[in-house]
Amino acid sequence: MSTVIYLNGEYLPLEKATVSVEERGFLFADGIYEVLRLYRGHPFQLEAHLQRLRRSAQGARLPLPQAVPDLPAIIERLAAENDLHDTSIYIECTRGAAHPRTHAFPAEPHPTLLVMPQSIYTLPADAFTRGVSTVTVPDLRWRRCDIKSIMLLPNILAKQQAREQGAFEAIFVRDGVVTEGSSMNTFAVIDGTLATHPADQGILAGITRQVVLALAAELGIAIGEQTFTLEQMYNAQEAFLTSTSAEVLPITQIDGRPIGNGRPGPVTMRLVEAFRQKTGGWR
């Protein structure tokens, strides 16, 4: 059975859903997106994702389609029609098709709204017990990484470089400071404090990041939403990544060096467990 998706007011089989070649998302990457997760059929942190979608739209000066308030109902219908339980949902909103191709906004934009289920990518079987390895790459992105833009070439190149170097994730470094991963936020335990880059324009304010910070506070873990350098990360006691797809994922290697004793640390594992309890788990 083919997957049913939502495109501009219609529910269609995936193969039947098409957009114009003049779509500005295609020509300019003129759009924003969200990825959220269903656990046993229920969206996790839906309101936070929708809020971030609205913030991204504001940052991109993108008129949101009228159907945006219906997103909870659209997601519910897609979950029912596709019999979805544990999956992710991809939402994309662009400035739509316009003629001729000019950089400035079209006088009458017809924004596109796409909502489609995506299977959760599979992590290496031992990822949570052995951790993953990472490599660092220069953060060459623009200075509005808080906008969840579909313009992801630097992230794609970074992730591919990581894969070609046998690593799971690429970690961006700007002016010696660790910002975030190519598709995940980065945390490190430094001198007993859990550090992560502040949610400013230098990173995407991850929803998982926010949940993890709240869980850490509940667990009495010392938190510092402050930047740390690559040198500090090399010498960190522990480190981990967070994202909607990867949840809380221990990092045990960076640039070929072990983090701490080269095994997932105790603070990380408490948060892996606390996060799993919060979502109700899926495995």
Q: Does residue 180 touch ligand PDD according to CB under 6 A?
A: yes
Q: Does residue 207 touch ligand PDD according to CB under 6 A?
A: yes
159 is catalytic: no
Q: How many Cα neighbours within 13 Å face the side chain of 120?
A: 19
Q: Evaluate whether 91 touches 36 at the Cβ level (below 8 Å).
A: yes
Of 156 and 219, nearer to ligand PDD (C-beta) is 156
Q: Write down the catalytic residue from 16, 148, 159, 278.
A: 148
Q: Does residue 139 touch ligand PDD according to CB under 6 A?
A: no
Distance CA 48, CA 72 (A): 12
- Considering only residues 16-55, where is the footprint of ligand PDD by CB under 6 A? 35
Which range binds ligand PDD by CB under 6 A, 1-9, 91-99, 176-184, 274-282?
Answer: 176-184
Q: Are strands 132-138 and 169-174 parallel, antiparallel or unpaired?
A: parallel
Per-residue interface string for the shown chain with ligand PDD, residues 55-94, x marking contact by CB under 6 A: ----------------------------------------
Cβ-Cβ contacts under 8 Å for 95 (sequence gap 6 or more): 24, 25, 28, 30, 31, 62, 63, 105, 106, 109, 111, 112
Q: Does residue 179 touch ligand PDD according to CB under 6 A?
A: no
Among 3, 185, 253, 268, binds ligand PDD (CB under 6 A): 185
Query: What would the DSSP string read from start to end of 108-161?
Result: S---EEEEEEEPPPPPPTTHHHH-EEEEEEE--S-S-TTS-BS--HHHHHHHHH
Of 36 and 62, nearer to ligand PDD (C-beta) is 36
Distance CA 35, CA 244 (A): 7
Q: Evaluate whether 212 touches 275 at the Cβ level (below 8 Å).
A: yes
Which range binds ligand PDD by CB under 6 A, 55-63, 101-109, 241-249, 271-279?
Answer: 241-249
Among 133, 134, 136, 242, binds ligand PDD (CB under 6 A): 242
Q: Report in angstroms how near the CB of residue 223 gets to ligand PDD at its nearest.
A: 17
Which range binds ligand PDD by CB under 6 A, 79-87, 102-110, 199-207, 214-222?
Answer: 199-207
Q: Evaluate whether 34 touches 49 at the Cβ level (below 8 Å).
A: yes
Which residue from 193, 181, 175 is spatially nearest to 156, judged by alpha carbons? 181
Q: Where do contacts with ligand PDD occur on this chain (CB under 6 A)?
A: 35, 155, 180, 183-185, 204, 206-209, 242-245
- Residues assigned a catalytic role: 148
